[in-house]
Structure 1
């Protein structure tokens, strides 16, 4: 959508405010999908919830591709937004639940790797399709997104179900079979099964292929109300710290201005003095390449270096990069009639540095960390709460950036984001304990949630 928005504005002759809404409203729409995904994942399982996400992505892409006016385009954004909500919740939860502790960070971060790879491919396709006639180019840019959705839906049928969800439904034999496939040894599979049973409240002496689950574990409306009570209404001190950590992490990830840098990178580069559409798309492709490369670096380091060191390094680097970008934009803004090559270079370098630091820590950390810290019984809905905060914040940031830039200048906007990101560093340092190397069941018993990290 970042590249396509340039052509949508020209073709449909829409205003900057309409562009803001078009870009950011998908985050608000995704709230529907994220909360529905929590309930769906607990009802029919993690595996087939992915099919729901694929169906929404497919329908949304086709609607946007065949849109003849702004209203139809917004309808397509709504459908795609619901799919975003489903996907952003279910992908990391499923991956975390099926992964061994030793490689969970690496595997869960591949959600972010895939997102960035998709963004990069989208930018490359935008560049390729920009040669098409104006009325056709942006429609192909958006409609081509239907193709990966079909592949995703088909791949679901070779994916195993989450062993933890199977235990919640009393299907112990099926859970053990999955654990034997994803564990190094049979003994490890048995140990993981025993930990999951304990977390689900199943006595260790109860065994069998399928067992009847107690009503308070097996599901139903009463159980969902208990989950919301434990998460929001009357949480324990430990649960309160977990929820605060998750919500704070998701809030600051978006409040740091990442959507303003990624979605509006053509506008940012235009403000920096880059003028042609080809240059816009080429520089945004460079942003996509940088994000993808550095999230791969993060995937390889998360389980070796740890979550806290990478998160703090990432956030600190983002503060410096945002200050550099804001400074460059402020200098260019004060010299509208003259080219300031060093300031233009500073803007481009700072943007690339920002996305590099974001992708090596704060970017993948939201899905990795939030999927780890919630206990089994509240994990799906707990993750949905974090995603809701993420999407609302993202929507506010992306739908106000152009207006904010006009009010306090584009340079001032990024100085504001730098200040927010500095506050985020302090929050992460004081509220997020290390989780590397612990199983999901050990995490629920971690004393760090009742003491300061």
Structure 2
């Protein structure tokens, strides 16, 4: 499936990335740091919290996986709330909820209270994951949308690396205090996001659906580097895709009574969305859902959260025995994952989404098979109790020489790096692009539900599956799933690079190019 180019629009003209757009997008994607930090810091904190609170294997899995599963609730709630009250308020609520969750976790005296904090933080994560890519996509011109929306994944990876570094830095403190401080520091990104929301504008596309066209036009001018002509054309495209453009005179100022009356004929944002998405979807909507939900399924079914959450455990069973060594190797993984996301950020709007995605899937498949093979060569087998695996005499000798540990660390680093150049950013960029404006927020919320459901399942089952089929079998299982994804991406995924959100909606409806846009709105005339 390839998307044919339509007639050039203002959003496709080469221009500099405006500082205003960049600032607003960075503030929005700070919300993604909430998830990343939790993932990174929990991988290290788990070594100490399990010791301090005497957690068994099942409780450790619940602590890790519960946040991902409960974030499903947050993602579903955020979609409807952002349609009702706006994107900015939804981000503010995400910050407040995660702040409360981090505070509860830091002060937890027992497993039930720790679990409560995880559940509260998980709802905040669900809010943040849904709203960041939607807001960034709706604010960004098409020519730079891929790079700006991919900042969601950049900040997730930054949060992971930050969590790893904090865990490493606080490792020397007493186990009673270090994990509490690790988790409590998670309140800082939430405070930064809450402060940033105060200076952010609302999404212009959301404002149009709320009959606030004058406000939307003012924001579009700012995000178009002050180019009134470009802003007017972008507003015309938004109106057209919602079905307004044919019913108004585009030469009139959008603040006139006639314009607002015309807008009033359309459905409000969010009305009838679930019927349109799930109960009686059109063929175009079914194609969108197949691509979006399939992409998010494969993104998490590749086992990335197992590698990130449990990397200290994996490295320990590969021959790295000290806590400091495990955390140090984990920091290396986080650095690789964070560094390679910048390659994707640069290439998304140059190479395209689909080539990066397929390249990433092929590389992840090979890396996972390498990890599985490394465990086989180390002859690691299942044992009883809370210890994941044991190493026989020959494997211990190999680990002592550094060969076994080195191969495993290298393969895990390659795994997360190749994930970051495609799987990670493309999933969020793609789903923020393809859905029509009226259903976008709740459709992305549905993708968050799928993403977190699979992520939570992986996090909750990794240790148990590894006991049942060995770590080698587990990584081979993940690799086989990713191999299937290569075929899925090649057959079903369209290329979306450089296309406006409105053009993409038309493509899935079966129209390969957008019809001629109405004349751009003229700037308001000053009165003497």
Secondary structure in 1 matching 2:287? helix
Shift of residue 235 of structure 1?
1.2
Secondary structure in 1 matching 2:198? helix
Quote the residue 1:249 is aligned against.
Answer: 295
CA contact (8 A) 2:48 2:179 kept: yes
| Cα distance in structure 1, aligned partners of 2:392 and 2:477 | 22
1:154-181 deviation line (CA, Å, top 9, x unaligned): 1111111100000000111100100001
1:316-347 deviation line (CA, Å, top 9, x unaligned): 00000000000001221346223224332221
CA contact (8 A) 1:3 1:123 kept: yes
| Cα distance in structure 2, aligned partners of 1:133 and 1:271 | 24
Question: Larger C-alpha radius of gyration, 1 or 2?
Answer: 2
Shift of residue 280 of structure 1?
0.7
Shift of residue 450 of structure 1?
8.2
1:386-424 deviation line (CA, Å, top 9, x unaligned): 111111111111100000000000111000000000001
CA contact (8 A) 1:111 1:367 kept: yes
CA contact (8 A) 1:307 1:365 kept: yes
Quote the residue 2:315 is aligned against.
Answer: 269
Quote the residue 2:244 is aligned against.
Answer: 202
More helix by share: 1
Quote the residue 1:192 is aligned against.
Answer: 234
1:153 paired with 2:199, answer no
CA contact (8 A) 1:2 1:262 kept: yes
CA contact (8 A) 2:101 2:117 kept: yes
- Map 1:319-358 onto structure 2 (within 5 A): 319-334=365-380, 336-338=392-394, 339-340=397-398, 341-358=402-419
* Range 95-104 or range 335-344, more displaced: 335-344
Gapped runs of 5+ residues in structure 2?
1-41, 381-390, 513-528
Quote the residue 1:126 is aligned against.
Answer: 167
Secondary structure in 2 matching 1:130? coil
User: TM-score scaled to structure 2, two decimals?
Assistant: 0.83
- Map 1:391-406 onto structure 2 (within 5 A): 391-406=452-467
Secondary structure in 2 matching 1:161? coil
Quote the residue 2:111 is aligned against.
Answer: 70
Q: Of 4, 8, 16, which aligns to 2:49? A: 8
CA contact (8 A) 2:287 2:508 kept: no
Quote the residue 1:445 is aligned against.
Answer: 506
- Map 1:169-184 onto structure 2 (within 5 A): 169-184=210-225
Shift of residue 214 of structure 1?
3.4
User: TM-score scaled to structure 1, two decimals?
Assistant: 0.96
| Cα distance in structure 2, aligned partners of 1:330 and 1:406 | 14
1:41-90 deviation line (CA, Å, top 9, x unaligned): 10111111100000011101100001110011001001100000000000
Shift of residue 203 of structure 1?
3.0
CA contact (8 A) 2:87 2:203 kept: yes
Gapped runs of 5+ residues in structure 1?
none
